[in-house]
Amino acid sequence: MDKTITVVVEEFIAHPLYNKRVKRTKKFKAHDEENVAGVGDTVRIMETRPLSNREEAFR
């Protein structure tokens, strides 16, 4: 898919019973109009109108 990037968001949450930090990962597909994002880049996404059926509404 051209002009589409996959953004991985990682967060640490405390387990409710054991109080141990657990890493949660969520993937978002976002639109990259200029096709400039590369592997390992830090990007900022924002919510927009739906741009495609597969892409969520992020730019």
The pLDDT, as a whole number, for residue 11 is 96
Q: What is the pTM of this model?
A: 0.69
The pLDDT, as a whole number, for residue 57 is 66
Amino acid identity at 28: F
The pLDDT, as a whole number, for residue 18 is 95
> Rounded to an integer, what distance in angstroms lies between the CA atom of residue 30 and that of residue 10?
16
> Rounded to an integer, what distance in angstroms lies between the CA atom of residue 32 and that of residue 3?
5
The pLDDT, as a whole number, for residue 59 is 59
Amino acid identity at 22: V
Concatenated DSSP letters of 34-48: T----TT------B-
Q: pLDDT digit string (tens) for 6-55?
A: 999 999 999 999 999 999 999 988 888 888 999 999 999 888 887 777 76
Domains of the chain with bracketed CATH: 1-59 (2.40.50.140)
Looking at per-residue pLDDT, the higher value among 58 and 43 belongs to: 43
